Amino acid sequence: MKIKSIIYSVVALAFSVSSCASQNFQQSINAAKDAVNSATSATTGGGALSNDEVINGLKEALTIGTNSSTAFASKLDGFYKNPMLFIAFPSEAQKVKDWALKMGMKSQVDQFEMTLNRAAEEASKDAATVFVNAVKGMSIGDGFAILKGADNAATNYLIEKTSAELKIKFTPIVQAAIDKVELTKYWNPIINGYNKVPFVQKQNPDLTAYVTDKAMEGLFKLIAQEELKIRKDPVAQVTDLLKRVFGSVMK
């Protein structure tokens, strides 16, 4: 604000010197303000951002991020050969894995883990619509707080506000994917063999819930990466709205 006041004074002085003697000083001040405000509008692309613009920009960024993330995750090996997304043997069934490896069932364990990831990849093919609809339905109060927050603030807001609903909608998609890749065909020989061992505590993790949670977790990681790119890289700001909203933060 100090810099703007100085500009007002300087431009006002110029106007007062060059104007005719009958022009009063207040008119010069008003003219100076108009000149500075016009220059400010030109450099910021039409004036100050409104909260609605920021909210629309955040939703657009998340829509682009979810589309890009689901497209990447749904490719062959999108989960399986990506260390950041790879879904491992359920941790609560670690005893089952240890027993299977001890019994020489490494190939079955590897096949099961690969199929876990294939299920997540398959489910991701239909996840985009679920995520996009969730983004459109988000009710954001203070867009500026998210815009000026952490580099993953919009993604975290999406997680906080939509995870419960997303899980409900995503679960049948995952179940269909599990059926398609025949996950239980690779799981049943392992778990049935383990559960026949005398005196062991029987194990039967919910694979649908497990894959659903891990697939959503992986997709959110990718969405956060996409948000970071849009925030930091002008090339990733592919629409005028993104340039205006996120470009304002970069300046």
Query: Tokens standing for 195?
Result: 């559960």
Which contiguous run of DSSP H or E holds residue 145? helix 143-147
Average pLDDT of every residue of the chain: 85
- Look at residue 63 and tell me whether its pLDDT is greater than 80: yes
pLDDT in tens, 171-230: 999 999 999 999 999 999 999 999 999 999 999 899 999 999 999 999 999 999 999 999
pLDDT in tens, 91-141: 999 999 999 999 999 999 999 999 999 999 999 999 999 999 999 999 998
Q: Which pLDDT score is estimated for 27?
A: 53
- Look at residue 12 and tell me whether its pLDDT is greater than 60: no
- Look at residue 31 and tell me whether its pLDDT is greater than 90: no
Q: Which pLDDT score is estimated for 249?
A: 82
Rg of the chain in Å (alpha carbons): 28
Of 9 and 209, the structure prediction assigns the larger pLDDT to 209
- By C-alpha distance, which of 174, 133, 132, 140 is closest to 53? 140
- Look at residue 8 and tell me whether its pLDDT is greater than 70: no
Q: Which pLDDT score is estimated for 47?
A: 72
pTM for the full model?
0.79
**Interatomic CA distance for residues 168 and 65, integer angstroms:** 21
Of 53 and 1, the structure prediction assigns the larger pLDDT to 53
Q: Which amino acid is present at 238?
A: V
Q: Which pLDDT score is estimated for 248?
A: 84
Q: What is the DSSP letter of 141?
A: S
- CA distance between the termini of the chain: 16
